[in-house]
């Protein structure tokens, strides 16, 4: 038997770092560095995650045939950063100096860093940032051909691309360049509303339904959207080309209010601004997709890039009927670039075969029940070890009412969402759970909505959605008569960010919800990520136990092991008043 081909994809040095390991084109392992270093959106070279990937596959770095880097650093640095500097000089001096310093220390020397930190001396391939995004979606979609659309903050120069994939080929046909960027517009407004840029954009999306899009006219001063989806930002309102902030005084004058201070009160004005930027984003996304269909016609659409995590816009694209089928890369942000570059190398350099559509994203680390028991024994904490069917019976009963349960199972998800292996779950019928989970478990703002997981076969009973949504990337309406049935996952505008689940994707999670349905008649539960505000999603049993002990969570289930808060020694519960302090609030 010939030796398999191993390809390692890397994304780092900008947003969230990630690693992907392919064996003969199949995804063996994928994870974000933040999960191991416990630093949210850690952008450093993913040394820890790479060690886990190699360990999982039982290989060493010497077995790797090719490494891929998810963007072209020289193009990004010398071309965009330097030319932006000269364009805006002397305004951009400070930004330039900081960028230069950072790059001289680490980023310019990517091959040397990879050799030094990972011990890899072989060939490194570089693929452009947006081609990596597009590849991560197209090659995972299973489509024979597809129109591709990628939209994010910025890669090298591109901020938006349209392309076409067929078989092993994928080409980008049209681009919009920095500084004109839908992602950066959204980030600028995130900054203006007082949330953390590159991290809390989803809060703006969650806030939007509380407001009215009253400021759309003012937004037309900020951005001109043409019928073909191309757009121009009016750069006199933005300072990210030359400053360290996203916006300045001019935008405050335009909207008539100062930039909100983080953690200060959110007023109706902020909600209306959120609603307005959301409306503008949806309008632009729809026009881009319409134009993409015209110039790269296909019945199928593949989406990726950070803006593809805007599930409200995705729902609009789906309902527009422009495409028969849509695939959205679940790791649509920059960590997913590692997947795209690895798949791109497999198809374009190694002429490898296409794979069918991915079935799930459970590609990270896993822990056995023995390892979990060893931890609990060492900690001297009581637990029950059950067989799987007894566990599912018990937990589905415990879910009824106000119990909030940490659900830690099998391999960790790749991408920003917890999809049933590193999740906190609760009864969606109980409205009080919305507040309880936000304030007493996640310690986050009470306006933030929760997403439902629904058994795939019951989706249309609850939601105006007639396709699957396994990665929680589509928003659709809850049927009016069901809104009071599942109030804890129904947003103020009657919508929900839906995760559908079938047995093949995750049999244990599916069977748990099925057992809950048999007991209660309800096929929907709350699913939110297993972490507190500012903390990366838990990776290991230690992380899960820490989070459980330091929040008001009622039960923790790890593998087939059940842990009850009321049986924990009093001196172990909520002892670290400083638990939250460990994490930087977003």
Binding site for Fe ion (CB under 5 A): 152, 334
The minimum distance between CB 75 and Fe ion, in angstroms, equals: 14
The minimum distance between CB 129 and Fe ion, in angstroms, equals: 6
Distance separating alpha carbons of residues 538 and 529, to the nearest angstrom: 9
CA distances, 309 to each of 199, 200, 411 (Å): 12, 12, 22
Nearest residue (CB) to Fe ion, 14 versus 509: 14
Nearest residue (CB) to Fe ion, 152 versus 360: 152
Distance separating alpha carbons of residues 378 and 218, to the nearest angstrom: 60
Nearest residue (CB) to Fe ion, 136 versus 421: 136
The minimum distance between CB 524 and Fe ion, in angstroms, equals: 32
The minimum distance between CB 187 and Fe ion, in angstroms, equals: 12
CA distances, 112 to each of 64, 107, 513 (Å): 17, 10, 49
Stretch (H or E) spanning 145: strand 145-151
Nearest residue (CB) to Fe ion, 152 versus 427: 152
Stretch (H or E) spanning 105: helix 93-105
Nearest residue (CB) to Fe ion, 201 versus 554: 201
Distance separating alpha carbons of residues 309 and 15, to the nearest angstrom: 15
Tell me if 274 sits within 8 A of 257, measured CB to CB. no
The minimum distance between CB 383 and Fe ion, in angstroms, equals: 42
Q: Tell me which residue has tokens 């249309």.
A: 460
Tell me if 266 sits within 8 A of 260, measured CB to CB. yes
The minimum distance between CB 152 and Fe ion, in angstroms, equals: 4
The minimum distance between CB 150 and Fe ion, in angstroms, equals: 8
386 dihedral zone (left: phi>0; alpha: psi -120 to 50; beta): beta
Distance separating alpha carbons of residues 524 and 536, to the nearest angstrom: 25
The dihedral built from the CA positions of residue 113, 117, 121 and 122, taken in this order, carries a sign that is negative
The minimum distance between CB 79 and Fe ion, in angstroms, equals: 17
The minimum distance between CB 126 and Fe ion, in angstroms, equals: 15
Distance separating alpha carbons of residues 156 and 178, to the nearest angstrom: 8
Distance separating alpha carbons of residues 311 and 418, to the nearest angstrom: 15
Nearest residue (CB) to Fe ion, 289 versus 525: 289
The minimum distance between CB 128 and Fe ion, in angstroms, equals: 11
Distance separating alpha carbons of residues 435 and 441, to the nearest angstrom: 9
User: If you ran DSSP here, which 8-state letter would residue 290 be given?
Assistant: H
Nearest residue (CB) to Fe ion, 149 versus 428: 149
The minimum distance between CB 333 and Fe ion, in angstroms, equals: 7
Nearest to 50 by CA among 15, 82, 12: 12
Distance separating alpha carbons of residues 3 and 12, to the nearest angstrom: 29
Nearest residue (CB) to Fe ion, 152 versus 543: 152
Q: Tell me which residue has tokens 């931890």.
A: 375
Tell me if 352 sits within 8 A of 382, measured CB to CB. no
Nearest residue (CB) to Fe ion, 152 versus 586: 152
Tell me if 140 sits within 8 A of 272, measured CB to CB. no
Nearest residue (CB) to Fe ion, 71 versus 543: 71
Nearest to 527 by CA among 386, 413, 445, 389: 413
Closest residue to Fe ion, based on beta-carbon distance:
152
Distance separating alpha carbons of residues 421 and 562, to the nearest angstrom: 15
Nearest residue (CB) to Fe ion, 107 versus 250: 107
């Amino acid at each position: 038997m010939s030796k398999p081909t191993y390809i390692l994809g890397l994304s780092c040095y900008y947003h969230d770092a990630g690693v992907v390991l392919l064996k003969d084109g199949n995804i063996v392992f994928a994870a974000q560095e933040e999960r191991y270093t416990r630093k949210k959106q850690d952008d450093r070279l993913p040394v820890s995650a790479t060690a886990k990937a190699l360990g999982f596959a039982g290989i060493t770095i010497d077995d790797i045939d090719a490494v891929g880097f998810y963007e072209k650093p020289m193009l990004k640095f010398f071309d965009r950063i330097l030319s932006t500097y000269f364009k805006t000089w002397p305004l951009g001096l400070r930004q330039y100096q900081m960028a230069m310093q950072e790059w001289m220390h680490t980023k310019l020397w990517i091959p040397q860093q990879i050799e030094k930190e990972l011990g890899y001396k072989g060939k490194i391939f570089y693929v452009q940032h947006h081609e990596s995004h597009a590849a991560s979606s197209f090659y995972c979609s299973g489509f024979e051909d597809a129109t591709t659309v990628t939209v994010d903050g910025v890669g090298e120069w591109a901020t938006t691309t349209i392309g076409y994939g067929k078989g092993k080929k994928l080409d980008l046909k049209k681009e919009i360049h920095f500084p004109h960027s839908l992602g950066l517009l959204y980030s600028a407004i995130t900054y203006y509303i007082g949330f953390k840029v590159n991290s809390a954009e989803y809060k703006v999306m969650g806030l939007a339904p509380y407001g009215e899009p009253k400021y759309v006219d003012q937004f037309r001063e900020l951005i001109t959207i043409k019928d073909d989806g191309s757009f121009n930002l009016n750069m006199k309102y933005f300072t990210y080309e030359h400053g360290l902030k996203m916006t300045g005084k001019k935008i405050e004058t335009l909207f008539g209010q100062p930039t909100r201070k983080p953690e200060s009160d959110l007023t109706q004005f902020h909600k209306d601004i959120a609603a307005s930027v959301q409306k503008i984003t949806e309008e632009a996304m729809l026009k881009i997709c319409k134009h993409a269909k015209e110039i790269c016609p296909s019945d199928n659409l593949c989406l990726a890039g950070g803006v593809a995590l805007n599930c409200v816009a995705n729902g609009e694209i789906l309902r527009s009927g422009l495409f028969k089928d849509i695939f959205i890369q679940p790791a649509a942000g920059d960590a997913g670039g590692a997947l795209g570059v690895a798949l791109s190398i497999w198809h374009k350099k190694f002429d490898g075969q296409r794979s069918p559509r991915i079935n799930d994203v459970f590609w990270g680390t896993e822990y056995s029940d023995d390892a979990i028991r060893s931890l609990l024994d060492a900690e001297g904490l009581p637990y029950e070890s059950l067989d799987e069917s007894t566990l599912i019976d018990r937990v589905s009963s415990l879910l009824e009412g106000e119990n909030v349960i940490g659900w830690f199972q099998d391999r960790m998800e790749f991408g920003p969402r917890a999809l049933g292996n590193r999740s906190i779950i609760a009864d969606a019928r109980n409205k009080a759970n919305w507040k309880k989970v936000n304030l007493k478990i996640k310690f986050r703002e009470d306006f933030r909505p929760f997403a439902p997981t629904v058994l795939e076969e019951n989706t249309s009973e609850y939601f105006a959605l007639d396709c699957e949504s396994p990665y929680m990337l589509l928003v659709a309406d809850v049927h009016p008569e069901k809104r009071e049935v599942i109030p804890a996952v129904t947003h103020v505008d009657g919508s929900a960010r839906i995760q559908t689940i079938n047995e093949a994707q995750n049999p244990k999670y599916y069977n748990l919800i099925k057992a809950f349905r048999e007991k209660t008649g309800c096929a929907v539960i709350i699913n939110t990520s297993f972490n507190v505000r500012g903390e990366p999603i838990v990776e290991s049993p230690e992380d899960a136990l820490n989070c459980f002990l330091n929040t008001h969570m009622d039960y923790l289930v790890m593998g087939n092991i059940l842990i009850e808060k009321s049986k924990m020694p009093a001196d172990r519960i909520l002892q670290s008043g400083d638990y939250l302090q460990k994490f930087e609030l977003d």
